[in-house]
Amino acid sequence: EDHGNLLSRPRFSLIFSLRDLGWIGDRPGSSSDCPLLYREWARYGAFYKFQPIDLIRKYFGEKIGMYFAWLGLYTEFLIPSSVIGIIVFVYGCLTIEEDVPSKEMCDQHNAFTMCPLCDKTCDYWNLSTACGTARASHLFDNPATVFFSIFMALWATMFLENWKRLQMRLCYFWDLTGLEEEEVSAFETEEEEKLTWKDRTPGYLVNCASILFMISLTFSIVFGVIAYRITLAAALSMSTNGSSKSNVRVTVTATAVIINLVVILILDEIYGVVAKKLTEMEVPKTEKTFEERLILKAFLLKFVNSYAPIFYVEIVVPDSHVSLCVSCPLQCAPGGCLMELCIQLSIIMLGKQLIQNNIFEIGVPKLKKLFRKLKDDRSEQKESHSDPSKQPQQWELDYVLEPYTGLTPEYMEMIIQFGFVTLFVASFPLAPVFALLNNVIEVRLDAKKFVAELRRPDTVRAKDIGIWFNILSGIGKFSVIINAFVISVTSDFIPRLVYQYVYSHNGTMHGFINHTLSYFNVSDFKAGTQPENSPFENEVSFCRFKDYREPPWAESPYEFSKQYWSVLSARLAFVIIFQNLVMFLSVLVDWLIPDIPKDISEQIKKEKSVLVDFFLKEEHEKLKLIENFITRDKQRSRSERKRKRSRAASFSQFYRSRRGSFTSLSSRHSDV
């Protein structure tokens, strides 16, 4: 009977597939001796085992099997990238004592008196106080990060190519190679079929306006956090507490990142609901179209929400200079912007993983299950015919579980993580390590959720992961550009190269810090912006700030110097060379790795050859039958003609023998 007819009756409120305890074995005292999926897959103790993909496919269907196969391959590919990331980090730790710029910054004998970080309340300070930040920045900002960025771009290409190969292998063994896309018209009604493009246009316009509003809201919150940084920095600078003044930058950065994290988590949930409502307004004709449009909207909103604060640190902050002291709190630390980008990325990435795993994926479903169970127990107690000693039926146990809502949240979480791993890996080489640790738990967490926390979903056949592959491919290509700008703009890699090979007198990095600091005449402070009650007021004539500017005694003071244009040209050249080199290598890797495994392609060729031989044999037999039929028809025609000729000959002979009789009879007839 049709599902709609069943649900329309008052006795039915929900229809779902019952679970087979012989497969999952999640109930204590199960009669089955072989709880396959629970024993081999849905336990945290089985984290070191390979996933039983074929068993998952047989129980949950091809679509869910494809997701866990993709997640398993992604987790396996994080192992080599994690090893290389650890090597890059260890290289930074081993070479930190040999880094000349950080030594010069930590040398208290240089006595670089720096300009105040804010107006009026901030005082002059010594560059050596930023020694710890400079040394920590070298752990991530070193020459090895450039090669690691190239490796990660090729890693993303190799991952996608290997997934295509695994996907083809699964399609072959699961008999999906000839599967056509099934479009189920689950949303179309008779009234909706009559809708024209004029009727749908207002919905599309509302969608576009809503998406633009949500993106604007995200950037508004980012600018709000910027205002918070400026306000808090000024407030802490005016504090009489010495420890607060000395830790202004750390306090401002840490609290701003935590605020960004909380906002991202809240907006993620809101954007998911908004994307679903906007997609329903479009009235898509098929379930596949609905799912694709929902994924695109949700990904666009969550992409902007997750990465907007990081783009701010990467692009906006490096362009803020001390020459305008209103923007002083927006500057990076003297050791470089890459350290602040690393802090921002690590807190947001790790915070999202820990909070989503512990609260949204474990805590919330358990609370919903508990509330549903309590509600059902209360309703059962009100019924007079309820028997407390009666064991609950299987459908009653499954009804308490959470409903299955699709794979979109699972894919979205991993895609956003893939973006953190590939887009900004130049600033945080340990990102693959934390992603690997998270995914080892995530695989078993999702397995346990599907086995024990969710109702059994209906099996759906699918030959690929759908639109998610296109999103992954786009992120992989976009990561090349982003990493090029991270290294070029945010890092000090290019300025160091330019200094060493152009401006250094002996080809070393000695004198680099002095080269990057410009002079400012303290008498040029605007009225009311100079430091108040400064103990250095009578001793300081010139202070230094990090930028390439002409000195106050030059013909055009505080204008960009020749060094600035040299570094800018080198940065642009690096972006072009890096992007084209990595793109070429990615295309080369794509060309070298075939999409179909050799054994599968040979097997497919053999099957095609057998099919061709079979069809040729069938055609040959048909042709033989046709030829035999034609031959028999010709023989039949010849024999028929012979019979006709023999009949004509016998008639002619009979006529000649009876000619006289016919003649006399004819004459008699004429006489009559």
Residue 47, number of CB atoms within 10 A of its CB: 10
Sign of CA dihedral 349, 354, 355, 356: positive
| Model pLDDT, residue 68 | 93
Bridge partners for 333 per DSSP: 336
Enumerate the domain spans of the chain. 3-504+566-602
Q: What is the mean pLDDT of the chain?
A: 78
CA atoms within 13 A on the CB side of 53: 19
Checking if the pLDDT of 198 tops 70, the result is no
Q: Please state, in angstroms and rounded to a whole number, the distance separating the CA atoms of residues 117 and 129.
A: 13
pLDDT, average across residues 157-170:
92
Q: How confident is the model at residue 390 (pLDDT cuts 50, 70, 90)?
A: low
| 446 neighbors 392 (Cβ within 8 angstroms) | no
Return the structure tokens found at 59.
């129980």
Q: Please state, in angstroms and rounded to a whole number, the distance separating the CA atoms of residues 348 and 257.
A: 7
Q: Please state, in angstroms and rounded to a whole number, the distance separating the CA atoms of residues 664 and 671.
A: 11
Highest mean pLDDT among 382-391, 517-526, 647-656: 517-526
Q: Which residues have CB under 8 Å from 369's CB, separation 6+?
A: 400, 401, 402, 453
Three-state DSSP string of 457-505: CCCCCCCCCCCHHHHHHHHHHHHHHHHHHHHHHHCCHHHHHHHHHHHCC
- What pLDDT digit, counting tens, does each position of 25-38 carry? 544 444 343 367 77
The identity of residue 596, as a single letter, is I
pLDDT, average across residues 560-587:
90
pLDDT, average across residues 594-614:
84
DSSP string across 216-276: HHHHHHHHHHHHHHHHHHHHHHT-S-HHHHHTHHHHHHHHHHHHHHHHHHHHHHHHHHHHH
| 456 neighbors 372 (Cβ within 8 angstroms) | no
| 328 neighbors 322 (Cβ within 8 angstroms) | yes
Looking at the chain, the whole-number percentage of residues with pLDDT higher than 70 is: 77
Give the residue among 164, 188, 203 at the shortest CA–CA distance from 73: 164
Three-state DSSP string of 404-454: CCCCHHHHHHHHHHHHHHHHCCCCCCCHHHHHHHHHHHHHHHHHHHHHHHE
Q: Which residues have CB under 8 Å from 276's CB, separation 6+?
A: 294, 298
Question: Per residue in 588-608, is it b (16+ CB within 10 Å) or e — as a string?
Answer: ebeeeeeebbeebeeeeeeee
pLDDT, average across residues 611-638:
80
| DSSP helix/strand/coil, 125 | strand
| 401 neighbors 453 (Cβ within 8 angstroms) | yes
| Model pLDDT, residue 193 | 53
Which of 173-182, 461-470, 660-669 bottoms out in mean pLDDT, i.e. has the lowest?
Answer: 660-669
Bridge partners for 17 per DSSP: 456
pLDDT, average across residues 37-65:
84
**Which strands form 542-546's sheet, in the order they lie side by side?**
125-126, 113-114, 542-546, 517-521
- The three-point CA angle 122-347-117 to 5° equals 10
